[in-house]
Structure 1
Amino acid sequence: MNNIKNKIINYITENAGTSFVEIEKIFDENHFEYKGDGAYTSAENNNIIFWYGWNEQAFNVVSSLVNEGLIEMRTCEPFIYIVDGKSLNFPIVKSERINTHHWLPVSFKSKGV
């Protein structure tokens, strides 16, 4: 598990603005099983979805890096995901008051960079 975390940290350090799609490529390159039916959602509102389609272990890898302060997650333009070739089929979050599933595109950067 630490090996995949290190690969993700190294990639994000060299590529600020890393998307979940790019992290999937890291998982693929390292034969890490990430596919599932889980969703990474906002702690404030479960209808705000950051990413979908991974298993719990994969989301735990990313969330632990965020919680440990090694990387940070920031909102980004959906265009980043279009360029990376994959996005979620939900309306994009426009306000905090939503009652149905909406996608909030985010990217990652190294903490302090």
Structure 2
Amino acid sequence: MTKNEKIIQEIIKHAHQQGNMTFLAVEKIFSWHGFDFDGNQYPPMTQRANMFVWDGWNSEALDLFKEALDRGQLEAKYCGIVPYLVDGGGLACPLATEVKDYDEPHWAPVFFNKKGVSR
């Protein structure tokens, strides 16, 4: 099993067992496996101008996470800021209060759970 496959399986396992997995938790999984995720790109999970779910990853990390999502076992849900505060971080920009285009960057925090499970 490749290192990337191990990371993908760990991401899915964490979301299934723990639930409410933030991008910070994904970054911890990357770090546990010695995977360098640092960069200046963001996951393209919204089609809205200046509305971001996360930031600071490189293209390899985005591809790896997209592969985990493409397996159809995870779903993203808006979660507000509290889960990120619990995990120890967030983005330094205003929170998105609605799904729309913004003139300046706004953060729409999401977490990930097993598909079909409400927590």
Q: Is TM > 0.5 for Structure 1 vs Structure 2?
A: yes
Secondary structure of 1:36's match? strand
Query: Is 1:100 equivalent to 2:104 in the alignment?
Result: yes
Pick from 60, 65, 68 the counterpart of residue 68 of structure 2: 65
When normalised by structure 2's length, the TM-score is: 0.87
- 1:17 counterpart SS class: coil
Q: How many residues align?
A: 113
Q: Secondary structure at the match of 1:94?
A: coil
Q: Percent identity?
A: 29
Query: CA 1:112–1:42 in 2, change beyond 3 Å: closer, same or farther?
Result: closer
Computed over aligned residues only, the root mean square deviation of the Cα atoms, in angstroms, reads: 1.4
SS at match of 1:21: helix
Aligned to 1:110: 114
Shift in Å at residue 46 of structure 1?
3.7
Alignment of 1:1-113 (within 5 A): 1-95=4-98, 96-113=100-117
Q: Contact 1:90 / 1:101 at 8 angstroms: preserved in 2?
A: yes
Confirm or deny: 8 A CA contact 2:8 2:67 kept in the other structure: no
Residues 48, 79 of structure 1: alpha-carbon distance in 2 compared, 3 angstrom cutoff: same
Contact 2:21 2:111 in 1 (8 A): yes
Distance 1:63 1:74 in 2: 16
Give TM-score, length-normalised by structure 1: 0.91
Which portions of structure 1, spanning 4 or more consecutive aligned residues, are displaced by more than 6 angstroms? none
- Deviation, structure 1 residue 38: 0.9
- Shift of residue 69 of structure 1? 1.2
Per-residue displacement from partner, 1:26-81 (whole Å, max 9, x unpaired)? 11111111111111234421411111111111122222222331211110020111
Return 5+ residue gaps in structure 2 as ranges: none
2: CA distance, partners of 1:13 / 1:77: 20
